[in-house]
Structure 1
Amino acid sequence: MSAVDDPPRVPESPLDTTSRLAARIAERVAGLPEAPRIDELLARKLRGNEFTTLLLHGLRQRALQRTFGDVREQALRSPMVRASTIDARRIHALDGVLFDCARDFEAVDLAPVEPLGAAACVGVDPNNVLGAARFAEVASDASVGLALHAAWVRRREASRETLRWCASQRVLRLQPFDRPEYSPHFRLFALATSARAPQAADDDRAERQSILEHLAVWAELAQRLPEAGFDVARARVVLSDTRVVKAYLRARVPHVDIESMARGVRANRPESTLEALREAGVAERQMADDWCDDPLVRGMPELERARALQDEVAKPLQARFPQLSVAYDLTRLQGLHYYRGPFLQVWFQRESGMELPIGDGGAVSWMQGLLSDRRQRFTISGMGSELLVKLFCLEEKK
């Protein structure tokens, strides 16, 4: 090993706090009548502060043993720790356009970490999130950070007004990616609306109003992107509602467990939706220009929800943005177990005809759990701003 590989050493101390505490924990565990298995010890048997102390001790000792060569080799083989491939000026210029389009939303700069389990609480497998010591995890979705911020504001101010936030955040996800334009860490732009209507009968309407406000931001963005140097020729919105989709699929394939089918769909594999539908006996995705005309929908109790989404979201959106195409997906599986009520996708199309889903969102029940209030309504949507630069920016494509 060459001298250049030797890091400046952090001085060892016999009085190091984590080492002393870790030794004390080890003595306590060794004195238990039945020594637990190591996996049980780490997962359940240790108290929270003991678990954190042992993690800190172990990571500190391993860090002290590493050299510049070790660090270099990990950086070379792990995309998780490498810089993004896009020009930082372009993503920041796009952020400027996004923040301007979201001018009615308060802009916040989110923390890079969240409480341990935040992602699991909203339905994300912890294996797809980078856990950290001190009971934290690296942010994997800006919407989760906005939900925590919203809960904090609601608790602090006891406000019942509708509150709106937006944020641009670099997030990290550890699920496998098989497309070169995808990377473990990337920048997202997210919107969030927290609402509680004066009357319970208006709560669902508040959700639809939030969806309309979010879509207006994304529609304005689509209009402005060509002037900003992006190859966005057309934009399309696909609307769904989890209750309508579940009712429709139960009527089409009553023998299939819809929840299990939806959980097998992966956002990073768009073809997985069609695969799941075909396996269940549905030949193709059921898209409609007016889903209230579908015979199955007309006979369902959920017809009023479908009609309200058309009347309160789609029609005013198209009146304001006539060039925007709006369709309905009666068989959308991706996000079916994640959202609760109306949900959406935003598609952008290049001049060449290539079209991709670049934005996603919908109503979620997170705030009900965070504030122990069933009437809280929380709506989120986000756009892959980094992916937008990689695939639609004319300068980036040269």
Structure 2
Amino acid sequence: MIGKKIAERIGRPDLIDILTNELTGSELTSLLLDVFNQKTKQLSPADLLKTYQTNRFVKPADINPLEIRQLENQTLAIFDQFGFSPVELSPVAPLGSCSVVATADQNKILSATRQTEVMADATNALALHIADLKRSTQQQKGQLLRFSTIHRHLRTPTLPDIPGFRSHFKIACFVTSGRDSGNYQFEKEALTEQISMMTVFFRDTLQIDTLRFQLYPRHGYTDPVGFVTTLGNHLHEQLGNVAIDVMADGINDNNYYKGLQYKMTITLQGQTIDIGDGGFVDWTQQFLQNKKERLLTAGIGIELLYRLLQPLRSEGRLA
């Protein structure tokens, strides 16, 4: 651990423990603000330019804002059509939004001061928004809550040296919240609705008829394979014209999703691409301390999709 090595080098091996366990959150924030204030006083304009040139987190994306916003508007219009209310989220989320309730490592997220972190997964933020609504307002029993957003995310892992790849990127996210009412009723309704919406978006709006869905069993339900098979049968009955593959031959060690994960693939110019995924998570159960809570989250790589569609747009094959 790098922090521990630094603490030992300066002769304060207990430094991390003091900062973590002996200071309140507000005290740590005040301390860090003072440190950063002193650090910035040591910087020159030349230092700022050098940081801009070398820091991979701060460079702008090499995309046309007007063109990608056309795609974003199309996306949000479809979301709204299906009742997924668009939300403009803050650039930051509460510290631990991803790592506390999910399997993400906090080292993959850009932590900030004032008990915040730079947005790394907007579905977590939407889950917090839902939990806050449920805690502060009276929701009708059985009422589904649907929200969506398109947000620029930032994550810290080093990326491959590929032109166009950045540590920050846009994802279109959508979530469905409800409560368990027996017989997998919420799961059936929420999954059918999300897959219907993605079919309208990709196949009908963007004219990408190579869209396919794959359903995978994940730990978290009593019988994940049976659960996924049941949902797959329901989808085939409801959406007979949609390509859906049930991958129920085993369960891997993915603990992010609970019971089911679904993936979306498209094939463009002979290449099959994972363009998005989703699944059931237990985040609202954890936030609200209620095992009856259900949440289906999903996201598509809207910036990746924009890049993939560029050749088609330049050839006049896409409006």
- Structure 2, unmatched stretches of 5+, are 1-11
Q: How does 1:48-63 map to 2 (within 5 A)?
A: 48-63=25-40
Q: Does 1:169 align with 2:86?
A: no
Find the counterpart in structure 2 of residue 309 from structure 1. 231
Find the counterpart in structure 1 of residue 108 from structure 2. 128
Find the counterpart in structure 1 of residue 21 from structure 2. 44
Go from structure 1 to structure 2 and tell me whether the alpha carbon gap of 1:171 and 1:397 turns closer, same or farther (over 3 Å shift). Answer: farther
Q: Distance in 1 between matches of 2:252 and 2:275?
A: 17
Q: Structure 1 residue 234: deviation in Å?
A: 0.9
Contact 1:309-1:342 at 8 Å conserved across structures: no
Q: Does 1:358 align with 2:280?
A: no
Residue 117 of structure 1 is aligned with which of 87, 91, 96? 96
Q: Distance in 1 between matches of 2:226 and 2:251?
A: 19
Cα offsets for 1:75-127 (capped at 9, x unmatched): 11122101111111122111111112212211111111111111111221000
Find the counterpart in structure 2 of residue 156 from structure 1. 136
Q: Structure 1 residue 304: deviation in Å?
A: 3.7
Q: Distance in 2 between matches of 1:92 and 1:72?
A: 29
Contact 2:276-2:299 at 8 Å conserved across structures: yes
Q: Distance in 1 between matches of 2:52 and 2:276?
A: 30
Q: Structure 1 residue 359: deviation in Å?
A: 0.5
Contact 2:192-2:235 at 8 Å conserved across structures: yes
Q: How does 1:206-217 map to 2 (within 5 A)?
A: 206-217=186-197
Q: Does 1:71 align with 2:48?
A: yes
Find the counterpart in structure 2 of residue 13 from structure 1. none
Query: Secondary structure of the equivalent of 2:60?
Result: coil
Q: Distance in 2 between matches of 1:186 and 1:75?
A: 18
State the Cα RMSD in Å: 2.3
Q: Structure 1 residue 390: deviation in Å?
A: 1.3
TM-score, with structure 1 as normaliser: 0.70
Find the counterpart in structure 2 of residue 94 from structure 1. 71
Contact 2:228-2:259 at 8 Å conserved across structures: no
Cα offsets for 1:252-272 (capped at 9, x unmatched): xxxxxxxxxxxxxxxxxxxxx
Residue 195 of structure 1 is aligned with which of 178, 199, 223? 178
Q: Structure 1 residue 233: deviation in Å?
A: 4.9
Q: Does 1:183 align with 2:166?
A: yes
Q: Distance in 2 between matches of 1:212 and 1:179?
A: 38
- Structure 1, unmatched stretches of 5+, are 1-34, 248-300
Q: Distance in 2 between matches of 1:124 and 1:85?
A: 27
Find the counterpart in structure 2 of residue 239 from structure 1. 215
Q: Distance in 1 between matches of 2:94 and 2:145?
A: 23
Find the counterpart in structure 2 of residue 9 from structure 1. none
Q: Structure 1 residue 331: deviation in Å?
A: 4.6
Find the counterpart in structure 2 of residue 147 from structure 1. 127
Find the counterpart in structure 1 of residue 117 from structure 2. 137
Cα offsets for 1:27-71 (capped at 9, x unmatched): xxxxxxxx8722222222222222111100001111122112111
| Greater RCO (Cα-Cα under 8 Å, separation 6 or more) | 1
- Counterpart amino acid of residue 78 in structure 2: C
Q: Distance in 1 between matches of 2:185 and 2:137?
A: 24
Contact 1:116-1:131 at 8 Å conserved across structures: yes
TM-score, with structure 2 as normaliser: 0.86
